[in-house]
Amino acid sequence: MSDDTPALEDSPFSDFLGFELLLQDEDRELLTRVHAFMTREVEPVINDYWTRAAFPHDLLPGIAKLGIAGLAYDGPGCPNRGALVDGMVAMELARVDPSMSTFMGVHGGLAMGSIQLCGSPEQRERWLPAMARLELIGAFGLTEPDVGSAISAGLATSARRDGDEWILNGEKKWIGNAAFADLVIIWARDEEDEQVKGFVVEKDTPGMTFDKQEDKIALRVVQNAQIHLHDVRVPESNRLQNATSFRSTADVLRVTRMGVAWQAAGCARGAFEHALRYTTGREQFGRPISSFQMVQDLLVKMLANVTASTAMNVRASQLQDQGLLKDEHASLCKAHSTVRMREAVGWAREVLGGNGILLEHHVGRFVADAEAIYSYEGTREINTLIVGRAITGESAFV
């Protein structure tokens, strides 16, 4: 090993087994820059935005400079840095704030991913460079008020061809970034062949209106909206040319589900770090509470959860980089990492005692935000059924 080879001791303490050492130097430097930005610019202000359920638009130029939107994609203007560092960046964002990680997951993962994976070369050229620079912000509209988990068969938003245009009608629920997005990917069922197709609906298109999702108890910074589509006319040139059925939508979700698995590891990791810091500073009975066996037990269990989820996600992202990632791989990682996250944030809250429910100590925000990460992009049950079908050959969906 040469002298300048990074050593395990140089890894952040919460990267216990040194997974970041698997990255190239330039990718590790990117992680360091992302972490510095998040701790310097985001952490000091985010609780205030969370309380007000407001989005920190002022932070977008700084995020744009990091060059992380669509990090894994090789489309025009995209960084093309691969799935492993992309996942680790998602973890890095969530480690400080799950809402900002979700914002980027929707924009850089779901919206850019739909165009990258389902758009024609012209469509990629038209939208991806500006999206990578965060000059255009994207949203992804799949879920509907009456159908979430069963969306592949139950999607009711309709698309009817009318000459060179399509007419969209329906409702979407929970759509992140929607109210301020420049482009919303709307998934709708073609009335003629009954297949699900993707449409890029641009801001201010007549007939598309929004109601902000109010009173959320999780990810309050993320601006979710219900979308109403009433005779929305979209040109054929805005129909994603390679999205021919729900299989295309699922191809996008396979990739972004890995991003959510990484977010979950990051959310758990952030809570663990706050918990460790707190317990070494807080004294009871004349000793730091970190010196008590039962507190150490919880700290070590949190670290084990973070480390196990990271290990699983690293391997799946490596498979993704080799073009070998399957739906069931991403589903296993998402289901496992979110369960382990939910345990870890609960233990972090526990070791903070009463302070665990105060926003000023951050852990309370992670506890609340974990609830949304647990449910979106496929609940634990749905991801379990995907893995169950793969390993048994039997579908237990219905």
Ligand X SMILES: Cc1cc2nc3c(=O)[nH]c(=O)nc-3n(C[C@H](O)[C@H](O)[C@H](O)COP(=O)(O)OP(=O)(O)OC[C@H]3O[C@@H](n4cnc5c(N)ncnc54)[C@H](O)[C@@H]3O)c2cc1C
Task: Name the site residues for ligand X (rule: CB under 6 A).
Answer: 106, 140-143, 148-149, 174-176, 219, 224, 372, 375-379, 381-382, 397
- Asked if residue 38 lies in contact with residue 100, where contact means CB atoms within 8 angstroms, the answer is yes
For residue 317, give Cα distances in angstroms to 166, 172, 349.
37, 30, 30
What residue has token string 């840095």? 81
Alpha-carbon distances of 143 from 150, 151, 337, rounded to whole Å: 9, 7, 22
Could you tell me the smallest distance in angstroms from the CB atom of residue 119 to ligand X?
18
Least distance in angstroms from the C-beta of 100 to ligand X: 14
Cβ proximity of 249 and 378 under 8 Å: no
Q: Considering the complex, state which of residue 219 and residue 276 has its C-beta at the smaller distance from ligand X.
A: 219
| Dihedral sign of CA atoms 33, 38, 40, 42 in order | positive
Rounded Cα gap, residues 218 and 213, in angstroms? 12
The residue among 141 and 259 lying less far from ligand X, judged by its C-beta, is 141
- Do residues 262 and 334 lie in contact, with contact meaning Cβ atoms separated by under 8 Å? no
What would the two tokens of residue 34 be? 């992302």
Phi, psi of 224 (to 5 degrees): -90, 150
CB nearer ligand X, residue 141 or residue 266: 141
Give the three-class secondary structure for 186. strand
Complex with ligand X: residue 355 or 379, whichever CB lies closer: 379
Give the residue with the Cβ less far from ligand X, 236 or 381. 381
Q: Cβ closer to ligand X: 219 or 243?
A: 219
Least distance to ligand X from the beta carbon of 197, Å? 15
CB of 108 to ligand X, least distance (A): 13
Name the minimum Å distance from CB 140 to ligand X: 5
Ranked by CB distance to ligand X, the top (closest) residue is: 148
Query: Residues 195, 249: contact at Cβ < 8 Å?
Result: no
Residue 332 · residue 387 · CB < 8 Å? yes
Residue pair 201/232 in contact by the 8 Å Cβ criterion: yes
- Least Å distance, CB 70 to ligand X, is 16
Q: Is 89 or 142 the residue whose CB approaches ligand X more closely? A: 142
Least gap, CB of 278 to ligand X (angstroms): 27
Q: Which is nearer to ligand X, 176 or 266 (CB)?
A: 176
CB of 222 vs ligand X, minimal distance in Å? 6
Cα angle: 186, vertex 192, 195; to 5 degrees: 50
Structure tokens belonging to residue 263 = 């977010």
